[in-house]
């Protein structure tokens, strides 16, 4: 049984303001909760149905997760998902620590990606291709948004992120020495390129692309060749295609 205060607290975490105040966010549904338990995130509280608890007893016990058994109807009162018969975890957010690309490391940079579904999809793509770091403009969707967490399908546990000022970041990184690829509609054809193993790939806003503050730091404008008539590709799709081309040219 949840107390009223617990219920209100968990529901408050649907909103960014309260996530930031509390330093906590929600992870929901069987798969995502299993992944977050097995990760290095700290879980404040796990709400779980009896079934999910017993199916995952070893995992939950070995990690000493504070768990509260609830009914499906109680769970559905606090989840943001359309249906959830498994679990909701209240998880501590991580400190916003600066990240840079290590030697021969490829890092994704998001300049003002607004849609939470796109950000979640990009986390999943990064995880598929073995990219471990994501650098986001302050205007990019908040990674702790439940829609991002849900769309990432557990990949948020294997990718690190830093939110900050991209122009300031690149001014320090010295792009003379590390390539900074940027996706534009009029760049070099990715099919003909040989990418550097390490570097940064900047993907821009859904409507406006890479902004004027970041553009000067792009050392190589790149483009997915078009063979038909669609005006553009969704930013998640474009990220996947470019990363796939990067990976096949450097492996």
- In the complex, the residues that contact its own copies under the rule CB under 8 A are 121, 124-132, 153-155, 158, 191, 224-234, 236-237, 240-241, 244-245, 247-248, 251
Give start and end residues of each alpha helix (H) in the chain. Answer: 4-12, 16-22, 30-37, 50-55, 57-62, 72-78, 116-128, 146-151, 166-173, 235-250
d(CA 166, CA 138): 8
CB-wise, 28 or 127, nearer to its own copies? 127
Distance of closest approach, residue 122 Cβ to its own copies, in angstroms: 10
Distance of closest approach, residue 195 Cβ to its own copies, in angstroms: 13
Cα-based angle 69, 24, 95 (whole degrees, multiple of 5): 140
The encoded tokens of residue 32 equal 């995502």
CB-wise, 173 or 237, nearer to its own copies? 237
CB-wise, 71 or 234, nearer to its own copies? 234
The encoded tokens of residue 227 equal 């063979």
Distance of closest approach, residue 29 Cβ to its own copies, in angstroms: 14
CB-wise, 94 or 158, nearer to its own copies? 158
What residues contact residue 186 under an 8 Å CB cut-off, 6+ apart?
221, 223
d(CA 90, CA 27): 7
Distance of closest approach, residue 148 Cβ to its own copies, in angstroms: 14
CB-wise, 64 or 251, nearer to its own copies? 251
Distance of closest approach, residue 130 Cβ to its own copies, in angstroms: 4
């Amino acid at each position: 049984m949840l107390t009223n205060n617990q219920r209100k607290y968990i529901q408050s975490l649907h909103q960014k303001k309260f996530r930031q105040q509390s330093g906590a966010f929600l992870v929901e549904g069987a798969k995502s909760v299993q992944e977050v338990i097995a990760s290095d995130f700290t879980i404040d509280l796990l709400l779980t149905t009896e079934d999910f608890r017993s199916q995952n007893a070893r995992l939950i016990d070995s990690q000493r997760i504070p768990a509260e058994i609830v009914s499906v109807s109680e769970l559905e009162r606090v989840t943001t998902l359309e249906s959830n018969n498994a679990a909701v975890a209240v998880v501590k957010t991580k400190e916003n620590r600066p990240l840079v690309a290590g030697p021969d490391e490829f890092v994704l940079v998001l300049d003002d990606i607004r849609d939470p579904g796109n950000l979640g999809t990009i986390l999943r793509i990064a995880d598929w291709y073995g990219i471990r770091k994501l650098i986001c403009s302050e205007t990019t969707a908040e990674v702790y948004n439940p829609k991002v967490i849900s769309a990432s399908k557990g990949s948020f546990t294997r990718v690190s992120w830093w939110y900050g000022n991209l122009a300031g970041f690149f001014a320090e990184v010295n792009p003379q020495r590390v390539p900074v690829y940027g996706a534009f509609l009029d760049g070099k054809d990715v099919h003909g390129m040989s990418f550097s193993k390490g570097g940064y790939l900047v993907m821009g806003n859904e409507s406006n692309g890479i902004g004027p503050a970041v553009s000067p730091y792009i050392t190589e404008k790149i483009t997915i060749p078009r063979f038909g008539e669609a005006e553009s590709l969704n930013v998640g799709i474009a990220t996947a295609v470019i990363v796939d081309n990067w990976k096949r040219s450097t492996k």
